Structure 1
Amino acid sequence: MSKSLEEVNQSVATEGKKTGFRKILAFLGPAYLISVGYMDPGNWATDIAGGSQFGYALLWVLLMSNIMALLLQSLSARLGIVTQRDLAQASRETYSPFINYILYFLAEIAIAACDLAEVLGMAIGLNLLFDISLIQGVMITVLDTFLLLFLINKGIRKMEAFIIALVMIIGVSFIIEMIFAQPEISKVFTGLIPSLPNENALYIAIGIIGATVMPHNLYLHSSLVQTRKFDRSNKGIKQALKYNFIDSTIALNLAFFVNAAILILGAAVFYQNGMFTVAEIQDAHKFLEPLLGTKWAPILFAVALIAAGQSSTITGTLAGQIVMEGYLNLRIQPWVRRIITRLIAIVPAVIVISIYGESITGKMLILSQVILSLQLGFAIIPLIHFVSDKTKMKGFHISKTTQIASWIIAVIIVSLNAKLVYNEIQGWLETSENPIVLWFTVVPLAFGFLLLLFYIIFKPFIINAKHQINAHLPHNFELNFFKVETYNKKNIAISVDFSDADKIAINSAFELGGKEANYTLIHVVETVGAMLYGGNIDDHETTIDEKLLFEYQELLTNNGFKVDVKLGFGKPNNAIPRIVKEGNFDILVMGTHGHTGFKDIIFGTTVDKLRHKISIPLFIVKN
């Protein structure tokens, strides 16, 4: 398997640092690239809307979101540090190709929504500062991709330094803005007490959560932590986990300060003056000077907006590369990937602005953040499952307490999203002139994604034997031999998949051949990587399957049987016949392997496709 962000993987040395401070400093950086995603222009739109409509009342949502973000980002970093896999790669190794394609599609939609917010934010900032039209500003943002390419070629540390400089510009700008605005401190603390003034506040609150806890950041963080090269011993991994948590705590609290400052600015300037409908960034910029009495307030606002858009667009396009390479195991030229990501955001932005005008941008920004929130469950739930897996995490799995806290966060987010989707669809059905179309399109699609969410939630709890390594290790394997006086099969192939069907298939083969025959155990690795790269693939599942196959061989050989093994790659109905044709077998023995139920309808059964491709007898043993 190719490494995540291969051009910078393990490019920063952390070993050999003489002092503890220098050691910590070597690890600091990845979370700052993550933090810019938590203060991107999409946050500005939701924060300004929240502050102008509800004053300080939604500050608690920002605080809750920041706590959620810190926990989830620490889980993402843990996954990358321990397994050396990013979230997309871990998903590809865990789920079927069909499920992975859907998850990839959803991740791409989330990144496109995020990039849309960044493109619009940059364009608005350029418009406010230099009076460039929004359409021209949107087109200029294409150049960001080349800046990213330049920075990453200079090394990840140079990129981190550039991002940190932009973050400092944003932070300093809002410290000055707070001095101008002079918010009421008592009301700021009151806003930290949970409350929802009305139904509209829920929509804004979900937008804030979507803008704060970002799905693409979970993919990105699990990759960026792999840029550090450190001692892979247990002690070294524990140290890396500790330092990365410190990195995340500092960076995300800085992001919380920026988001809170934007919302407080909206509350102190607009809500306090009875301007409850300010949701457009342009309007906020326009009113800052007359309300605060200084020309520097709108200038600093625009400068901070450009810095936020520029920094977050870099990390957004990196996340796009990670998602494509991780889910599809498809590596294309980085500059091509980044231009594709940018065009996916630019095209709808240009179309919508051209049709509806520049006044629509605020609504587009808030909608983009709600889309991000809707996708969160499909990134968070697999992440929690992965870091809870003792085998996958090699003993560095999260504690029960952390698991409970993580699932509470997942339930909160998924529940809010479910309510939002229900309310939106209900509103569409009530106002649509042709609701039948919605009943046959939007409603089934919503149910489909709900079923996918349930599948992702519950599959690891009822996972089949193939992926439960401890449950199907050969020491649990029982051999009950039957004495047969006459044997006529001397070279027998047996298809195995490390499930309960293996025991019956192998015992049935022994009935045919006894201890005089030669046996070959065949197993096929079915990952996406195996289908693309065949025997050249080197992923987690291949390693496990090969290990189990050799343990089968050792067990059976120790019991007096002559056993060889063959590992195939790709689809079983193609790989097994290929192995059978290359060998001189008398018969192929199979248990009831393959897909069942719904997957049979989609993929078809292995047996049906295989039996027409071999010229020897096929002995199917029912489990």
Structure 2
Amino acid sequence: MDERAPKTFTGWSRGGGESSLSDVNRSIPVKGMASKWRRAAAFVGPGYLVAVGYMDPGNWATSLAGGSKFGYALLTVALISNIMAIVLQALCARLAIASGRDLAQACRDAFPKPVAYALWFLAEIAIIATDIAEVIGTAIGLNLLFGIPLELGVLITALDVFLILYLQKLGFRWVEALVVALLAITAACFFVQIALADPNWGEVIRGFAPTTEIVTNPEMLYLALGILGATVMPHNLYLHSGIVQTRDYGNSLPEKREALKFATIDSTVALMFALCINASILILAAATFHVAGQTDIAELEQVHSLLAPALGLAIAPTLFGVALLACGINSTVTATLAGQIVMEGFLDIKLAPWLRRLITRAIAIVPAAAVTIWYGQSGTAHLLILTQVVLSLQLSFAVFPLVMFTADKKKMGAMVAPKWLIAFSVAIAIIIAVLNLKLMYDFFTIG
């Protein structure tokens, strides 16, 4: 066991194992800093890697489809999803800091092996679904900007593993710097496009108000769950619980409490920023296509070709392509890290870090690339939306263990979640499960 990150074994069926992301675990100093502001600044970063999940290409497909078909009505889903994400990511940080485990390690150490292996299998499905969306988005971005064929673009996306290997060798802060820089590019592109679209801001504000039609309309529910799955993503829960442990915050209770406060602030601010970007995708579709009666827009290539005549500016499609490529690269980077955390955490494999990263990346990207090439360019929109619904269906299998662990005083000790937070988290878990049951009922009874 890595002495840099001692684990608390009370309440866990098993203990030990290697630290999460062992090659960068506790690699960013915090506890030696005298200034509180400097310690807080040291925690800025992991939240923005999590926020990438709000802007992955699968989210683009669901938001573009929702905005073009239903206008601003699904903005309330983006807001509710954001609130759920803030609570769940705070629980991830609590679990990691209190127990020294990421979510995958916690499942391995708490559940019988058959249950842990089943959860690992479901987590891998979620990683593959995530990768399909990100591979497609990055490949389409390369195609729109440089004319690279989709099949070749898919293969190019596999090179992200070498980028991560190089950046992590320099230090994990370099990985975070790349992600933040690409997020800034994505944000700038969308803010310009929103300004050009000039939406009705009164309708935008009303779009954040809940409506019962989302539950009663099966088609709207399908897209709503797609947005939920694209926002509160299963792999983000595993990711955050691993990367927050790159900070060397110390092992005393006061140090852990301060680390939890700073990590929660980081993720909350990052997710609020991501909400602005996430909502802007839907607003762009509603203001550009829905008002023009184009209610069946979902293909990313279709949006790219229609933006110039709709917004009246030739640079609009280029901005769209740049934003898509930036968020696609970002998403593949974070999905690769999440895949590593999931495989290492559940299976406790003993291999060199570079070899583990190659294996975990191959497990995710090979089926993702195969499905993408098989479907081809014409089926990408339906495939993107389907992957996000699959992610939503997988979400409960990550959320329920997370809530169970953080509510267990034997496992969390003095850092167990307060009762109000447990109640809120249980409500979120139940809402997600009920909505998924409703989706499956509609799928089998209505088709």
TM-score band, normalised by the shorter chain? over 0.9
Task: Give me the CA root mean square deviation.
Answer: 1.5
Partner of 1:447: none
**CA 1:246–1:360 in structure 2 vs 1: closer, same or farther (change >3 Å)?**
same
Partner of 1:204: 223
Partner of 2:307: 288
**How many Å apart are 1:427 and its aligned residue?**
5.2
Q: 1:118 aligns with which of 134, 140, 143?
A: 134
- The total of aligned residue pairs comes to 428
Distance 1:100 1:351 in 2: 27
**CA 1:352–1:238 in structure 2 vs 1: closer, same or farther (change >3 Å)?**
closer
**CA 1:346–1:18 in structure 2 vs 1: closer, same or farther (change >3 Å)?**
closer
**CA 1:50–1:229 in structure 2 vs 1: closer, same or farther (change >3 Å)?**
same
1:510-529 correspondence runs (5 A):
none
Q: 1:400 aligns with which of 410, 416, 419?
A: 419
Distance 1:396 1:16 in 2: 22
**How many Å apart are 1:156 and its aligned residue?**
0.7
1:240 has 2:259 as partner: yes
**How many Å apart are 1:173 and its aligned residue?**
1.0
Query: Deviations 1:493-550 (Å, cap 9, x if unpaired)?
Result: xxxxxxxxxxxxxxxxxxxxxxxxxxxxxxxxxxxxxxxxxxxxxxxxxxxxxxxxxx
**CA 1:353–1:383 in structure 2 vs 1: closer, same or farther (change >3 Å)?**
closer
Give, as a single letter, the amino acid of the residue that structure 1 aligns with 2:170.
K
Mapped contact 2:339–2:364 kept (Cα < 8 A): no
Mapped contact 1:321–1:338 kept (Cα < 8 A): yes
Give, as a single letter, the amino acid of the residue that structure 2 aligns with 1:239.
E
Partner of 2:170: 154
**How many Å apart are 1:17 and its aligned residue?**
2.4
1:37-48 correspondence runs (5 A):
37-48=53-64
Distance 2:141 2:84 in 1: 29
**CA 1:367–1:80 in structure 2 vs 1: closer, same or farther (change >3 Å)?**
same
Distance 1:234 1:351 in 2: 48
1:17-416 correspondence runs (5 A):
17-195=33-211, 196=213, 198-416=217-435
**How many Å apart are 1:98 and its aligned residue?**
0.7
Mapped contact 1:146–1:335 kept (Cα < 8 A): no
Distance 2:20 2:361 in 1: 21
Distance 1:150 1:337 in 2: 15
Distance 2:360 2:32 in 1: 39
- RCO higher in structure (CA 8 A, sep ≥6): 2
SS in 1 for 2:410: coil
**How many Å apart are 1:331 and its aligned residue?**
3.3
Distance 1:353 1:400 in 2: 45
Partner of 2:9: none
SS in 1 for 2:264: helix
**How many Å apart are 1:424 and its aligned residue?**
2.3
Distance 1:183 1:275 in 2: 16
Distance 1:291 1:324 in 2: 45
Mapped contact 1:12–1:227 kept (Cα < 8 A): yes
Mapped contact 2:340–2:361 kept (Cα < 8 A): no
SS in 2 for 1:395: helix
SS in 2 for 1:119: helix
**CA 1:143–1:32 in structure 2 vs 1: closer, same or farther (change >3 Å)?**
same
Give, as a single letter, the amino acid of the residue that structure 2 aligns with 1:217.
N
Distance 2:366 2:337 in 1: 19
Mapped contact 2:47–2:240 kept (Cα < 8 A): yes
Mapped contact 1:181–1:268 kept (Cα < 8 A): yes
Mapped contact 1:31–1:221 kept (Cα < 8 A): yes
Give, as a single letter, the amino acid of the residue that structure 2 aligns with 1:90.
A
Mapped contact 2:133–2:384 kept (Cα < 8 A): yes
**How many Å apart are 1:178 and its aligned residue?**
1.0
Partner of 2:13: none
Give, as a single letter, the amino acid of the residue that structure 2 aligns with 1:362.
A
Distance 2:371 2:236 in 1: 27
Instruction: Work out the percentage of aligned pairs sharing the same amino acid.
Output: 53
**CA 1:339–1:230 in structure 2 vs 1: closer, same or farther (change >3 Å)?**
closer
Distance 2:401 2:374 in 1: 39
Mapped contact 1:29–1:247 kept (Cα < 8 A): yes
**How many Å apart are 1:250 and its aligned residue?**
1.0
Distance 2:350 2:433 in 1: 32
**CA 1:15–1:351 in structure 2 vs 1: closer, same or farther (change >3 Å)?**
closer
Structure 1: give runs of 5+ residues left out of the alignment.
429-623
1:433-444 correspondence runs (5 A):
none
Mapped contact 1:285–1:301 kept (Cα < 8 A): yes
Structure-2-length-normalised TM-score: 0.93
Partner of 1:558: none
**How many Å apart are 1:335 and its aligned residue?**
4.0
**How many Å apart are 1:237 and its aligned residue?**
1.1
Partner of 1:560: none
Partner of 1:620: none
**CA 1:206–1:124 in structure 2 vs 1: closer, same or farther (change >3 Å)?**
same
Structure with greater strand percent: 1
Structure with greater helix percent: 2
**How many Å apart are 1:342 and its aligned residue?**
4.2
Structure-1-length-normalised TM-score: 0.67
Query: Deviations 1:15-62 (Å, cap 9, x if unpaired)?
Result: 232433222111111111111122111110111011000000000000
- Structure label with greater radius of gyration: 1
Distance 1:354 1:116 in 2: 10
Structure 2: give runs of 5+ residues left out of the alignment.
1-16
**How many Å apart are 1:337 and its aligned residue?**
3.9
Distance 1:333 1:343 in 2: 15
Give, as a single letter, the amino acid of the residue that structure 2 aligns with 1:216.
H
